[in-house]
């Protein structure tokens, strides 16, 4: 079976494509077809609006857009399929994430008349985050560009450039017209220059690897069954791996080893269970095990940590703010957590990484979290089940974010000195200022805030919350310290120095000259900028001005 999803910008023709695919593969019942033909909603200009076969909500038919995720099942002699038709409108990105989260392949549509849009980039980025290795770039509406070979190959190159940037492994480009049916199920004669497969033929033959059953065991305990004093079983769904009677497992968080006595079925015992099967198992030892705990392979345990880094797709109209309490739902385990740092936010126009202090709806960013209790997890690239979680607002109970875990922050500083690193040349030299800049993630900077002393307090707190090493000098502190010594030390340590004390113009010139000699990343005088009078509004403007100070994270720290 192949699970696939459609994606792309609004009005790229996703619902029409699925409707055409179902229609031409003879997967539509006659009464459904009759209902669509008689519908008063028809925006296709032809006898059938194929989008109506999946857009079932009244609002969808009235507006001509997809809002909810529509799942359809069909099969051909070669394969069975489950399609998730997801919305393209930016407002409904959360529904796209839901539909794509279980997909093996993504069909990303590109309107041949408009080219790649910001939402095309966003959906491609989400597909890469979700670990969807197979992507089809369906260049749609070829009939509106006279089936131009030049247009197809130009858009194909643009999409392949985006795919390479995102690390998407396998991309196949197919020129189609969903409305006319060209290259969807049947090969067209209107594009003789294209010699590749039709969309359906590619879907029938693409290789999909499912290795969840061969991975290390991850069995989150969902429920403890105790019908009477003679039976104690642990029920849950295998996230990965295979469990057999007699297997030795490790219980987390207790770190106790135990052996599986039996796998219990509805009427009898089972020989084995493999992911993603639900299972109930009994253990030979009586150990402390409850809902939210996990049984794992003892030779390949997951990370156990309360400090994690994850790529987050923010889904709520209320922004993510640092320090605010959220509820993490990770498998069946819940924990309160705070976002402590935003590493970077992805610009959906350029796919570049940029500085951010908050996340707004549909933003994608690398965020560091600290949970109240440890989580048992693997990186998302290794295990899609244990490597993902959702963020919930504890007050409204709304799902506000979807996250893919990148790594364990607690393990990151662990450069083992006990290893053979003593022979490494890096250990035989002193720690340089550049090493500290890389560790901190920012360059040293000098900010003159003598005209806005109250703003300097807000600024220091905001930078500190973002992980900056920052020092606000006010009053006599600025005059008692020798600027040469102070700024030299700040340069070595990577400090951001805020000078909020009143200094005369001659001394300000001296501080500027010393900062330039010490190679500060930025010297900023707030008086030289037309900042808003309100300190909170001015803070956002100043943080934008400080963006060049933030160093871009190395890709190997995220991937």
Least confident of 77-81, 116-120, 355-359: 355-359
Q: What is the pLDDT of residue 269?
A: 79
Q: pLDDT, tens digit, for every residue of 458-516?
A: 899 888 877 788 999 886 666 677 888 888 888 888 899 998 888 778 888 888 899 88
- Pair 363, 342: CB distance under 8 Å: no
pLDDT digits (tens, 9 = 90+) for 40-72: 554 545 556 566 665 443 333 344 434 456 688
- Fold that domain 303-411 belongs to in CATH: Elongation Factor Tu (Ef-tu); domain 3 (2.40.30)
Q: Where in the chain is the domain with CATH 2.40.30.10?
A: 212-296, 303-411
Q: How far is residue 78's CA from residue 252's CA, in Å, rounded to a whole number?
A: 43
Q: Let me know: does 241 contact 385? Beta carbons within 8 Å.
A: no
Give pLDDT tens digits for 251-300. Answer: 999 999 999 999 987 767 788 888 888 999 999 988 889 999 999 999 99
**pTM of the complete model:** 0.67
DSSP 195-235: -S--HHHHHHH------GGGS--EEE--EEE-SSTT--EEE
Q: What average pLDDT does the structure give for the chain?
A: 83
What is the rounded distance in angstroms from the CA atom of residue 366 to the CA atom of residue 312? 6
What is the gyration radius of the CA atoms in the chain, in angstroms?
A: 28
- How far apart CA 3 and CA 17 sit, in angstroms, is 16
User: How far is 19 from 8, CA to CA, in rounded Å?
Assistant: 16
Domain with CATH 3.40.50.300 in the chain: 2-205
Is pLDDT at 432 greater than 70 in this prediction?
A: yes
If you average pLDDT over residues 530-547, what whole number do you get?
87
CB-neighbour burial class of residue 487 (10 A; exposed 0-12, middle 13-18, buried 19+):
buried
Report which DSSP code applies to 464: H
Crossing angle for the helix pair 483-493 and 505-517, to the nearest 10 degrees: 40
Q: What CATH code would you report for 2-205?
A: 3.40.50.300
Q: Where does 434-555 sit in CATH, by number?
A: 3.40.50.11230
Residue limits of CATH 3.40.50.11230 in the chain? 434-555
Q: Is the pLDDT of residue 245 over 60?
A: yes
Identify the CATH assignment for 212-296 out of 2.40.30.10, 3.40.50.300, 3.20.20.70, 1.20.1250.20: 2.40.30.10
- The predicted-structure confidence for 175-214, as pLDDT tens digits, reads as follows 999 888 899 999 999 999 999 999 999 999 998 766 655 7
Tens-place pLDDT, residues 123-181: 898 888 888 889 999 999 999 999 999 999 999 999 999 999 888 889 999 999 988 88
Distance CA 354, CA 549 (A): 11
Contact 378, 409 (CB under 8 A): no
């Amino acid at each position: 079976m192949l699970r696939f999803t459609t994606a792309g910008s609004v009005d790229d023709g996703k619902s029409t494509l699925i409707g055409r695919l179902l229609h031409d593969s003879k997967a539509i019942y006659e009464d459904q077809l009759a209902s669509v033909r008689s519908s008063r909603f028809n925006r296709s200009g032809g006898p059938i609006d194929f989008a109506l076969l999946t857009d079932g909500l009244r609002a969808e038919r009235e507006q001509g857009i997809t809002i909810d995720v529509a799942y359809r099942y069909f099969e051909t002699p070669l394969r069975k399929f489950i399609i998730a038709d997801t919305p393209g409108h930016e407002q409904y990105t959360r529904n796209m994430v839901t539909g794509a989260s279980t997909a093996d392949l993504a069909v990303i549509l590109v309107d041949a008349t408009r080219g790649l849009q910001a939402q095309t980039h966003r959906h491609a980025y989400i597909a890469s985050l979700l670990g969807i290795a197979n992507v089809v770039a369906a260049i749609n509406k070829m009939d509106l560009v006279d089936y131009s070979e030049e247009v197809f190959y130009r858009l194909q190159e643009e999409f392949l450039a985006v795919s390479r940037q995102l690390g998407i492994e396998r991309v196949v480009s197919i020129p189609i017209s969903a409305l006319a049916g060209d290259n969807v199920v049947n090969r067209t004669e209107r594009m003789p220059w294209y010699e590749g497969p039709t969309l359906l033929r590619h879907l029938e033959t693409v290789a999909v690897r499912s290795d969840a059953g061969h991975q290390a065991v991850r069995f989150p305990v969902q429920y403890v069954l105790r019908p009477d004093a003679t039976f104690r079983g642990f029920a849950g769904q295998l996230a990965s791996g295979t469990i057999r009677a007699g297997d030795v497992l490790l219980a987390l968080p207790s770190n106790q080893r135990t052996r599986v006595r039996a796998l219990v079925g509805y009427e009898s015992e089972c020989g084995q269970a493999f992911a993603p099967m639900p299972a109930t198992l009994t253990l030979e030892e009586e150990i402390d095990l409850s809902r939210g705990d996990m049984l794992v392979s003892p030779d390949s345990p997951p990370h156990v940590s309360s400090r994690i880094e994850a790529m987050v797709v923010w889904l709520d109209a209320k922004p993510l703010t640092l320090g605010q309490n959220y509820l993490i739902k990770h498998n069946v385990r819940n924990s309160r957590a705070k976002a402590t740092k935003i590493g970077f936010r992805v610009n959906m126009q350029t796919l570049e990484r940029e500085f951010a202090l908050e996340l707004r709806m549909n933003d994608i960013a690398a965020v560091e979290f600290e949970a109240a209790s440890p989580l048992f997890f693997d990186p998302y690239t290794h295990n899609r089940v244990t490597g993902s979680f959702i963020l919930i607002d504890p007050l409204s109970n709304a799902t506000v974010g979807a996250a893919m875990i990148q790594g364990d922050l607690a393990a990151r500083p662990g450069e083992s000195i006990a290893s053979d690193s003593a022979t490494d040349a890096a250990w035989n030299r002193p720690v340089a200022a550049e090493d500290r800049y890389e560790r901190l993630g920012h360059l040293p900077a000098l900010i003159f805030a003598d005209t806005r002393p109250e703003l300097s307090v807000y600024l220091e707190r905001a930078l500190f919350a973002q992980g900056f090493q920052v020092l606000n000098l006010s009053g006599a502190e600025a005059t008692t310290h020798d600027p040469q010594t102070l700024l030299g030390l700040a340069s070595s340590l990577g400090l951001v120095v805020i000078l909020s004390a009143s200094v005369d113009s001659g001394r300000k010139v001296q501080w500027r000259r010393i900062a330039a000699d010490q190679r500060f990343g930025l010297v900023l005088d707030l008086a030289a900028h037309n900042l808003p009078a309100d300190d909170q509004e001015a803070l956002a403007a100043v943080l934008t001005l400080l963006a060049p100070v933030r160093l871009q994270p190395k890709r190997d720290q995220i991937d």
